[in-house]
Amino acid sequence: MATNLWVVVPALNEAENLPVVVPAIVAELALLDVEGHVLVVDDGSTDKTREVVSDLADRHLEVSLISLGRNQGKAPALRRGFERALSEGADIIAMMDADGQDDPTELPLLLARLAEGADLVTGARTVRHDRFVKRTTSKLYNAVTALLSGVPGKDFNSGFKVMDADVARQASPMLYGELHRYLTVVAHWWGFRVAEVTVQHHPRLHGRSKYGLARFWRGFVDLLTVRFLMSYESRPSHLFSGIGVASVLTGGLALAYLLVQKVAGEAIGGRPLLITAVVLVLGGLQLVLFGLLAELVVYSRQRTSS
């Protein structure tokens, strides 16, 4: 039986590009020994994206459309696409952008690396055809991501990826906000084998990039979110209670010092250190209690799911 391969293409106002991009993907799938499907997820476009894809679906049996009622973001669009592909029995899921910058003819390169034993393969864009600001911020983003996550890679943010169904199934609940950027990081932390293959990066066919500086900063905030979820999802008290205990001990030492000063006859009522010490102790106790409450939430969730 041929491999069931789904290519998920999130699209936002890409009506000009899709008549070129989708047929190119369909043509490449026809050359592969797979049961190929192209699923375009219209992320609440305000142009004719929906009509264009509907017309393509009439002409190509491999093409289908999911249309979101409003713009929800790339991550939710990918999640909907993954869920649909998995419900249809996908063995492998690929994701590509709709702007024409990813080359469908390089899909076999990623699939070959997947066949060699990787669970998720990213098409790394070593030469970028983007604006200077986007290229520069992307390099900084990738360097910081590799440093903070400890995951090997040079292009975490590439929208050209292939993965087996198990990776997509586990990753789907993580696809909200801007967390699609960290599929490679999440898969690596889950124990899946990740790899990169160098691919060509073409200039955008038509239209303007949806990338902005706000997404750059949100990406770093999301990296901290992923780091927290991966490290403390099942043991949140290790973080909050740990910080709380350190705060209580620091405040306690300060209060002990002030007590010695008081016994020695010095006035401590107006000293800033007294207020600081009390705040550290009370804040630390609150963090400890918060950590314990978080543990109760995790425990309840585990009992409910078991």
Give all strands of the β-sheet with 3-11 in edge-to-edge order. Answer: 63-67, 34-42, 3-11, 92-95, 161-164, 120-125, 194-199
Dihedral, CA of residue 199, residue 90, residue 204 and residue 126, to nearest 10: -20
Q: Is the per-residue pLDDT at 252 higher than 80?
A: yes
The pLDDT assigned to 247 comes to 95
Average pLDDT, stretch 109-121?
Answer: 95
pLDDT tens track for 44-80: 999 899 999 999 999 999 999 999 988 888 888 999 9
Confidence (pTM): 0.75
The pLDDT assigned to 138 comes to 67
> What φ, ψ does residue 202 adopt, rounded to 5°?
-100, 160
The pLDDT assigned to 210 comes to 57
**H or E element in which residue 272 lies:** helix 272-305
Average pLDDT, stretch 159-170?
Answer: 93
The pLDDT assigned to 40 comes to 96
CATH fold for domain 3-232: Spore Coat Polysaccharide Biosynthesis Protein SpsA; Chain A (3.90.550)
CB atoms within 10 A of CB 115: 12
Q: Which two tokens stand for residue 75?
A: 């991550």
Q: Is the per-residue pLDDT at 241 higher than 70?
A: yes
Q: How far, in Å, CA of 289 to CA of 130, rounded? A: 49
Q: What is the DSSP string of 163-190?
A: EEHHHHHHHGGG-STTGGGGHHHHHHHT
Helices (H), 40-127: 49-59, 74-87, 107-115
The pLDDT assigned to 193 comes to 94
Helices (H), 17-73: 18-30, 49-59
CB-based burial of residue 199 (10 Å sphere; 0-12 exposed, 13-18 middle, 19+ buried)? Answer: buried
Q: How far, in Å, CA of 148 to CA of 48, rounded? A: 41
3-state secondary structure of 34: strand
Give domain limits for the chain.
Answer: 3-232, 237-305
Q: Which two tokens stand for residue 93?
A: 């899921």
> Cβ distance 21 to 9 under 8 Å?
yes
Q: Is the per-residue pLDDT at 254 higher than 70?
A: yes
**H or E element in which residue 256 lies:** helix 237-263
Q: Is the per-residue pLDDT at 126 higher than 70?
A: yes
Q: Is the per-residue pLDDT at 26 higher than 80?
A: yes
> Cβ distance 144 to 116 under 8 Å?
no
The DSSP output letter for 164 is: E
